[in-house]
Each structure stands twice: as C-alpha cells, then as structure tokens.
Amino acid sequence: MKIFKSLFLLLSVLLFNESFSQSYIGYNADNYSGIHGVTHNPSNIFGSNFKTDVNLISVSGFTGSDYFGINFSSILSGNFDVDEDSERFVSDKNNFFLNTDILGPSFMFNINKKSSIGIITRARVFFNLNNINGELFEAIEDDFESDSNVAFGSQNLNGTIHAWTEIGIAYGRLLMDKQNHILKGGVTLKYLQGAGALFTNSPGLTGQYNNVTETLTTQGELNYGTTEDFDSDDLGFDNLTAGFGLDLGFTYQWHPNREDDSTPIYKDHYKLKAGIAITDIGSIKYKNAERTTYNMNNTVDASSFDDLEEFLDDNYNNTDVIEDTKIQLPTALHLLVDYRLAKKWLVSAQANLSLVKKENDLASSIINTVTIAPRLETKWFSFYTPLSFRQYGDFAFGGGFRLGPLSVGSGSIFSNLLSDSSKTTDVFFGLKVPIYRK
C-alpha cells in the first residue's frame, strides 16, 4: 500500500527540478509531422507527404497547476527560490496535472493508392490531482508546522497517477475522392500494458489545525488505493497488465484548384482542412488492487506528522478492500481547422477537450486547450508559433521548428520567459527518418 503523500511529492519533484512534461503542441498540425500527427488523428496516416516516416525517439511533456505561478526565467538562470520566484493562488479547488509522452520506434507507409498503415509504440505517464483545498495542500507540504491556525475544506477531491505502454496498429483509408472534396478516415487499435496506478478521492473533507495546541481536527472520509506492487516513486515496467484502446478520426480536405480526381492529393495543396478525432478510448483492468477507506472524524496530535500513510494509520480507523479495478485512459476529443493563406503559409485552430468526468478518480485526463498556430511549412523546414488558451486561466505563447529529421519546440516557451507567474509549461523533442514522396 503506497502513501497518499506521494501524489504531492511527485508533483514537487517535477515542478522544482525542471522536469517539464498535450503533446507536440504546434508540430502535430504540420503536414510533415508524419507519425506524430497520427497520434492525434489516425486519419492523418493517409495522403501524407511521405513514402515512409520512421520515428526514432520523441519526447513530449506538459505540466502545470492553478496553484503555482512560477518565474521560469529564474529557473533558467540557476537562481530559483521557491518562496521568492513563485506565486501561490490558493483556492478551495486547486488542480495539478502532468503528462509525459515518449514516442518510441514507430513507422508508417502506404499500402496502395487508397490506404496506409503504421505501427506506433509509446510510453506514457499521467498525473492528475483535482479539487484539493490549497490550504490543505500547504499544510501537508509543511508537515503541519504552520505558525498560524489553518482551516480547510475540500469537496470531490480526487487524484490519479497512471503509467502504461502501448503498441498501436494505425490504418487510414480514402473514403471519398471527388475533384475538390476529399474525405479520409482512420483507426488505431492499441494493445496496452499497464505499469500500475495510484488513485485517491474524498467526497468531503474539512478540518482545522490549531497551531497553539498542535492539534488537527478533521471530519469526512478519505479513500486511496494502488494497483498491486505499484510504486509512484520508482515506476517500473517489468510487471505489466494488459488492456486495449482505440483512436478514431476523420479528415475533410477542400482542394478548389485540383484538376481532376486522378491527381494525388499530396500533389495538390488543399485550401482548407478540418479534422475530428476521439483518442484513448479504453481502459486497463488491474487485479488485486488495494483500496483503503479512512474515517476522518477525529482530533489528533499533529506534532508527530511526518509520513502521511503512517499518520493516517496511527490516528484514524480504516478498512481495506482488495478488488479488481479499471483505470480509464485519458479519452479526449480533438478538433482541427487548418487554412492555407498562401502556398507555404498556413494557420491552424485546434481544440483538445477532455471527455473524462473530472470527479473520476479511476481515470487520467488532459486539460482543455484551444490553440491557434500560424506556421511556415516546406518540405524540409517548418516554423510555427502556437498561442494557447488553457484550462485554469493560463495563456501560453510558444514556438518550434522542424528541420528535416529534427523537431524541437514548446507551446509556452515565450510566455514562460516573459511572465513572472506561469502556471503551465511544455516542451518536446523528436528525431526521425523521413522519406518524402517525389
């Protein structure tokens, strides 16, 4: 049984050690993104500009919180101080999130004039902590050593850490081919291998800490659980659990200048492209997961607080249940509109929307984002400057480029450098072997 505090420890390590971890923001709209675009919409695999696209290794990370606002320029200068270079936005419902996406050896190629196929390998880690009272977070972070009284109340508190790998078979096909109108569809069937999960929830938890008597009075219920042998401080992929997932997508393209329907669509630039996809449909079922329920109605001595699991076990009545548990994937809806301003200049608008209920502690989820990204796009080089509006009120402005086999970027690098209180950050890097069509 793992400690509930590991939720907080994991986030602290990630935020304060420059481990940035939404994926490939800006780059995934590029018509030369290849296999990366397939991860957001599997219909992108058909009609691409590649004979073959082989990904060697790519890493993308996205992290943030509406509790912390961090001065990233201080981090880059090496003089970062948590108290001086971070601003805290304490509320009754603070949220923390992180996802890391490692795209391993993957490839795609054309079967014939109407269909394409690909193999995708990935390793992914998601962290979500929703609706935690900021006063409670600070009290746990400080081991209940505050110099003043603290009162807190959290409703529908929940959190999840989940790590898994996946192998996907992507297939795309031309569904409609008229002179000026193209419709294509795609699907990715994924075999999942879960490394494990930690999950917690509380329908209601209130409390008061008295700094004079060093006592903590709480009311409510707290639940947390872990899959068998899961350790969030040392994620391992040697004891995996199988599951299945699905991505499904469609793309429409308008080609007003196409001479006839025999002209390959990759040879005729579209004026407008619109796509819709649902990704990460599915779940992983873990056997013998342990869930502990604590009755939090008690007044206890908080001066001995150190390890949260031990503190809970020593001071609160609890019951343990061993049961099979399903962890839902971060199911999401992706919408894209891409418009060609000139031959090499385009602008895209994307929406990435979570389809997971926020109160679900047995699921990972993305945060909702809307991104507008102007870009210069050529065969060997692309440059893009995404502007994003992100859930929890953060605005992000970034940049990135593709230079042949190399892609590097961040959807928030410029706003992180200019702002003294950034709530989100992301970065990606990729290396591939592109084999272009003639």
Q: With respect to residue 290, please indicate whether it lies within any of the assigned structural domains.
A: yes
Residue 313 has pLDDT above 90, yes or no: no
Give the separation between CA 438 and CA 435, rounded to whole angstroms. 9
Residue 166 has pLDDT above 90, yes or no: yes
pLDDT digits (tens, 9 = 90+) for 66-85: 888 877 766 666 666 666 66
Give the separation between CA 20 and CA 98, rounded to whole angstroms. 9
pLDDT of residue 247: 98
Residue 148 has pLDDT above 60, yes or no: yes
Q: Which of the residue ranges 135-139, 261-265, 358-362 would you say has the lowest mean pLDDT?
A: 261-265
Q: With respect to residue 33, please indicate whether it lies within any of the assigned structural domains.
A: yes
Percent of the chain with pLDDT over 70: 89
Number of domains forming the structure of the chain: 1
- Residue 248 burial by CB count (10 A; 0-12/13-18/19+): exposed, middle or buried? middle
pLDDT of residue 52: 93
Dihedral, 49, 54, 57, 60 alpha carbons, nearest 10: 30
Residue 20 has pLDDT above 90, yes or no: no
Residue 240 has pLDDT above 50, yes or no: yes
Residue 9 has pLDDT above 70, yes or no: no
What mean pLDDT do residues 109-114 have? 91
Residue 99 has pLDDT above 70, yes or no: yes
Report, in this order, helix, strand and coil percent for the chain, each rounded to 5. Answer: 15, 55, 30
pLDDT digits (tens, 9 = 90+) for 412-427: 889 888 887 888 888 8
Calculate the average pLDDT of the chain: 87
pLDDT of residue 27: 83
259 vs 36 pLDDT, higher one: 36
Q: Which of the residue ranges 2-16, 53-67, 315-329, 413-427 would you say has the lowest mean pLDDT?
A: 2-16
pLDDT of residue 382: 95
Residue 394 has pLDDT above 80, yes or no: no
Tell me the torsion sign for CA atoms 70, 75, 81, 85.
negative
Q: With respect to residue 111, please indicate whether it lies within any of the assigned structural domains.
A: yes
CB atoms within 10 A of CB 389: 14
Identify whether the C-beta of residue 285 lies closer than 8 Å to the C-beta of residue 324: yes
CB atoms within 10 A of CB 321: 11
Identify whether the C-beta of residue 126 lies closer than 8 Å to the C-beta of residue 364: yes
Give the separation between CA 321 and CA 312, rounded to whole angstroms. 16
Q: With respect to residue 230, please indicate whether it lies within any of the assigned structural domains.
A: yes
What mean pLDDT do residues 242-250 have? 97
Residue 391 has pLDDT above 90, yes or no: no
Q: What is the CATH number of the domain that holds 40?
A: 2.40.160
Residue 236 has pLDDT above 90, yes or no: no
Residue 207 has pLDDT above 80, yes or no: yes
To which H or E segment does residue 46 belong? none
Residue 195 has pLDDT above 80, yes or no: yes
Residue 288 has pLDDT above 70, yes or no: yes
Residue 7 has pLDDT above 80, yes or no: no
Domain carrying residue 374? 6-436
Residue 268 has pLDDT above 70, yes or no: yes
pLDDT of residue 335: 97
Q: With respect to residue 428, please indicate whether it lies within any of the assigned structural domains.
A: yes
What mean pLDDT do residues 131-140 have? 88
CB atoms within 10 A of CB 345: 12
Q: Which of the residue ranges 31-45, 103-117, 134-148 would you say has the lowest mean pLDDT?
A: 134-148
What mean pLDDT do residues 85-101 have? 87
Tell the residue number behind the tokens 């986030």, with chain if given: 11
Give the separation between CA 256 and CA 276, rounded to whole angstroms. 21
Q: With respect to residue 1, please indicate whether it lies within any of the assigned structural domains.
A: no
Tell the residue number behind the tokens 């929406």, with chain if given: 351
Give the separation between CA 352 and CA 396, rounded to whole angstroms. 15
Model confidence, pTM: 0.89
